[in-house]
Structure 1
């Protein structure tokens, strides 16, 4: 068998496709049979092809037949391509309109890479292996849920919860009570812990984030001991899923444990990164005995986490206007380290356009004369009692004692070319205003219902 590039027009579907109970007699019948089996699945496949193209890791297998090439493997993909290029092949007007709309939304490949087999018999062993499961390890061995999560960069809340339990076990190995609670949570309440740390407000106030297989702390470990001990003790005991199911309940929990949370004044200038098995020697500060004359070891430079690399990286906005969403998404692609000046300007711009957009959509009239007023109006709407810990920095930076200085800094980022923003300043502002943007988006969604 050999590989070749072929035009979609030269391909035809297999009339003896084993997916069909009976052989088909034409291309139209073959397409109709695939649509009868599951039109929604073929529409989703077509949408994926229009958006991202064909999967380059799975080539189509064809067999020459006169002027055409019969598709032995990949009939659904080729059917989707045929319908995208010629929606009239669909048997109903409704499906024709849907495929036409999908085709107009992206770019549809006109040529595809194929494996050319001389005969059906030559391709048969490989096609059978592709569709009949693991075959004792010879075929494709599917990932289990944990492996899927790890491939996704530990992206699921449950996997993040497991990373945190691993890290806490290493960090506080000397604390028997905490370790016992961690073991209980890991064994019986891991999804509850995942629900808590899957909430960006909880992570933000506790000062933790995740980077690959590492847990990242905004505070020294010892400043984290009290809240982690409280969290694991509560989850191992009286705090069930019914008490932390909603965002409001989780924020209420944060208020209850306010005294155990690390103080913002103790926040590190640069976060520390720890793996779940041992401190990351490239990132964790080296502890030395300050009273010893030989304590001359310097703190190695710590690697910044992905959470810190880009503006508002943990924030999603789905309910703001289209233009605001486009600006926000473009701003999120900015690297703070590589483009600190542009990132600093965009912090100010993004915050301003989001609070202005919210005011327009929700009809806020008061407090719209200046940036402080616009931010203040938004804060009063999303946090009227001023008791949401996740918004404490936003209140402090824009409305309270140091607010005037911070707002002046934001203005200088845009208007003063003598101002040279520090990356640490940009990160601090991004982290402070990120929860506000999230709450504004949620408020817009709630008002739209």
Structure 2
């Protein structure tokens, strides 16, 4: 641990702050802090100006020639906006900071003292022990359930099964363990997300390790990961956040390492698996017919990278917050928005040819469905199902989705919304997974 006065210009408000999850850049991170905690942010800024100082040095870690804030993003943001109010996300906030900075006693600071930690594991240990007490926004805000979940997904810290232990035990049973010691904290960080685990062919369900892909292929993939970590071919920097984890998975996919075959439940395989009972993974489980929210509450295997931040916020509202029977109109409109922006993500990520800005939602659906079929992402039957519903007046159709948004006298039925989502859900998940 060391303390040093750093120029404010060299300090970056963390785009991967666990308060909000991963965003594109510092500007988006600042905007999100005010979008979710504007009252607290204003209170904190007033307190900093009244005291003429901050009381706790921000915790930062080096990243190339800059320093990223691990803890103290709210304090750092307030100081940055006091120096440059034009960077505030709204005109009202810009005016607020212009007026507030005139009250600063003396010259505004250009440097602030920071706690610098080179070891990112230590950074997470410090974060794990902080965040207690709100004090109306002047103190550190408590993490809510989603913030805690973001932290656990990013780091692998928390109660429950140690994924690294399970992977090491599984590899040891088949004598595929690397000679060098596997850094378990790095392994847990990499495999903290169910989506990443699924790409490697296994799942953690009800506290037990289960293969969901061909066992031999999955073992080879896990052996490669263990070897990369043990031999330090992949270090903490290579698996620090969702973006870097996904980059590593893409590398394994290009190398043909990731398992592709479905799980074979023959007697030989089940005897050598974990003694825990084998359960079907959500991907191969029959869809439930009743649930309070539009999207069933299980992990759909999407890796939420920064560019999908708005997609994820809408997804979370449809999966955890909006009850279809109580909020049918909001659910209907947001489901239509999610489908369209998910399509746009697929089109841009895959560079789908022949799509124009003037294409309707129906035309986009058809072109994307055909592209998915050509790439073996969906079969011919499902492609035709999507193409069939792109037009027409049936309840399960693009026409119905458009009416949700544009018709002033169209009655929204919770049952019909669920029927439409049941058809589109696999399509949307693929669009968000590329």
TM range (shorter): 0.3 to 0.5
TM-score, scaled relative to structure 1: 0.44
TM-score, scaled relative to structure 2: 0.45
